[in-house]
A and B are shown apart, each in its own frame.
Chain A
């Protein structure tokens, strides 16, 4: 079952008037994936996600969820999906529990009052059940959004920028929640985020979209391992270090950041040799720190 395709998007295209929001997006999400959805602003991520949830009708392409055509089996498919698109919006004049009850009633599954109370407790909103949502902070609305997403126990969870506006503690909580959904309940999660570190930490597969096209798709570890590594070296002798790099590692590129720190772009398997050679040449290596790989990988892909 692990490789069962939960989502299959093929050659998706959508125009808004003369503006081509999505030109050709294709990707596949398997059961149990935490799938990272990456791309710069205006790349077409939100439009693609909205197409997948039938908010926007695509001009071209095919969307299959749970092996069925979204257009033909919309209601059946959406009963298995929970989502937050950009930001969760609720009825400000209603309480948290009434808001959840309203969305639960049209979610396709019977949800009891007890389950609503438990879910509010789960997202840390216990005691605020009867408070009107109009008085909630952004973080609280985001938690309520997560509760709304999970209430009907969907198999697929779509989270479009779920940590926007959250404080660091909130971001960590959401991250842990996603990891728990995968590990404890084997849910499939699509996560669109600008936080590349977040995607790198919790996604096992990803797609990068740019200018309305899917550029690259695959296993996060494989994609990143195949690339060169960026390491920051803190050394006592910058001149000797640069000489070692120029003579011994012609394929590597480097950039001096200050008197003691240099950033080196180098193949992963050459890192131990670099360290060895520097020590051999009498250079004291005080620190050797790998930089976030996804950031560089992402920038390379986008720029290319």
Chain B
């Protein structure tokens, strides 16, 4: 029954116009960045490398597909949560608002299975969005800008990664980025189990992200003890794969925190939905 209802969920997601809104918006944003980089990318690179030009000389194709993919990921990973929650925040509460949750809940499928099928569908949608981002950023980026070594500026300074040492890093970083986005998806579905309208969970998800991000960036000691446990602290962990050497312990810690968040949020949603009186 879980698989049958998951299939149902895919049909619903595919039929909803808002599902394509996220993919469309993402495509538009990436194409906009690619266009901007193609038109004026060299001055953008000069601005970043200006402070190093007295001590270093840069040769070869710096503005390549690998760098473009990194820039795109860095720019968009903050905005994609909105696109994810736009679809996933609606999965339970949208049905409550429409009244169809009442019809579903009178069928011989357990409420746990209803919620889990929505989580699976949300996870697959988020995966498709992440893969699409990866395709546009890396494949289209390389097709337009070519390939080459990746120069990344981080807190320790410049990191230069050889061309042949990059693909696996992107593979894993997209994996961690997916896990971060999955946490957003899970959070919005969880909030959706508490609501009776579509907008509430979407706005609440974004509010939580903004609140946690502010707490994470505030340099106030009172928040220091909770910062490591906020999922927003670990949303940029994908960047760690572009350090040399790769800080595996930090990444493992981030992955653990994100996985725990996902499990707890799923359990809360299942509990809430099972206890809920359906009066809509």
State whether the Cβ of B4 lies closer than 8 Å to any Cβ in chain A. Answer: yes
Interface positions of B from 67 to 115, Cβ below 8 Å from A: 98-100, 102-110
On whether the beta carbons of B15 and A78 are closer than 8 Å, the reply is no
State whether the Cβ of A35 lies closer than 8 Å to any Cβ in chain B. Answer: no
Q: How far is the CA of A56 from the CA of B102 in the complex (A)?
A: 10
Interface positions of B from 1 to 58, Cβ below 8 Å from A: 1, 4-5, 7-8, 11-12, 15-17
On whether the beta carbons of B4 and A56 are closer than 8 Å, the reply is no
On whether the beta carbons of A107 and B108 are closer than 8 Å, the reply is yes
On whether the beta carbons of B102 and A89 are closer than 8 Å, the reply is yes
On whether the beta carbons of B15 and A105 are closer than 8 Å, the reply is no
Q: How far is the CA of A56 from the CA of B12 in the complex (A)?
A: 25
On whether the beta carbons of A106 and B15 are closer than 8 Å, the reply is no
| B44, chain A: closest CB distance, angstroms | 42
| B241, chain A: closest CB distance, angstroms | 40
On whether the beta carbons of A148 and B103 are closer than 8 Å, the reply is yes
On whether the beta carbons of B100 and A106 are closer than 8 Å, the reply is no
B17, closest chain A residue (CB) = A93
A77, closest chain B residue (CB) = B108
On whether the beta carbons of B11 and A106 are closer than 8 Å, the reply is no
Main secondary structure, interface of A, reads loop
On whether the beta carbons of B4 and A105 are closer than 8 Å, the reply is yes
**A-B contact number at CB 8 A:** 81
State whether the Cβ of A42 lies closer than 8 Å to any Cβ in chain B. Answer: no
A83: B residues at CB distance < 8 A: 106
Cβ contact of A89, chosen from B1, B100, B279, cutoff 8 A: B100
State whether the Cβ of A220 lies closer than 8 Å to any Cβ in chain B. Answer: no
State whether the Cβ of A108 lies closer than 8 Å to any Cβ in chain B. Answer: yes
On whether the beta carbons of B11 and A53 are closer than 8 Å, the reply is no
Chain A contact residues (Cβ within 8 angstroms of B): what range? 20 to 34
Main secondary structure, interface of B, reads helix
Q: How far is the CA of A91 from the CA of B99 in the complex (A)?
A: 9
| A150, chain B: closest CB distance, angstroms | 14
Q: How far is the CA of A108 from the CA of B104 in the complex (A)?
A: 12
A105, closest chain B residue (CB) = B4
On whether the beta carbons of A55 and B108 are closer than 8 Å, the reply is no
On whether the beta carbons of A56 and B278 are closer than 8 Å, the reply is yes
State whether the Cβ of B277 lies closer than 8 Å to any Cβ in chain A. Answer: yes
> If the complex has contacts A107-B107, A108-B108, are A91 and B4 also in contact, measured as CB distance less than 8 A?
no
Q: How far is the CA of A183 from the CA of B15 in the complex (A)?
A: 40
Cβ contact of B107, chosen from A85, A89, A94, A103, cutoff 8 A: A103
Q: Mark A69-98, 1 if CB is under 8 A from B, else 0.
A: 000001111110101010111111110001
On whether the beta carbons of A76 and B108 are closer than 8 Å, the reply is yes
State whether the Cβ of A102 lies closer than 8 Å to any Cβ in chain B. Answer: yes
| B113, chain A: closest CB distance, angstroms | 9
Q: How far is the CA of A98 from the CA of B8 in the complex (A)?
A: 10
A76: B residues at CB distance < 8 A: 108
On whether the beta carbons of A50 and B107 are closer than 8 Å, the reply is no
Q: Which of B100, B108, B278 has the most CB of A within 10 A?
A: B108
State whether the Cβ of A194 lies closer than 8 Å to any Cβ in chain B. Answer: no
| B88, chain A: closest CB distance, angstroms | 17
On whether the beta carbons of B277 and A93 are closer than 8 Å, the reply is no
Q: How far is the CA of A108 from the CA of B107 in the complex (A)?
A: 8
Q: How far is the CA of A88 from the CA of B277 in the complex (A)?
A: 18
Q: How far is the CA of A103 from the CA of B279 in the complex (A)?
A: 19
On whether the beta carbons of A85 and B106 are closer than 8 Å, the reply is yes
A55-B106, A75-B108, A105-B8 are known; give 8 further A-B pairs, CB within 8 A: A16-B277, A57-B277, A74-B110, A93-B15, A102-B8, A103-B107, A106-B108, A108-B107
Can you list 26 A-B contacts with CB-CB less than 8 angstroms, sorted by A residue number?
Answer: A50-B279, A53-B106, A54-B106, A55-B102, A55-B277, A55-B278, A55-B279, A56-B277, A56-B279, A74-B108, A74-B110, A75-B109, A76-B108, A81-B106, A87-B99, A88-B103, A89-B99, A91-B12, A91-B15, A93-B17, A98-B11, A98-B15, A102-B11, A105-B7, A106-B107, A106-B109
Residues of A within 8 A of B (CB): 16, 50, 53-57, 74-79, 81, 83, 85, 87-94, 98, 102-103, 105-108, 148
Residues of B within 8 A of A (CB): 1, 4-5, 7-8, 11-12, 15-17, 98-100, 102-110, 275, 277-279
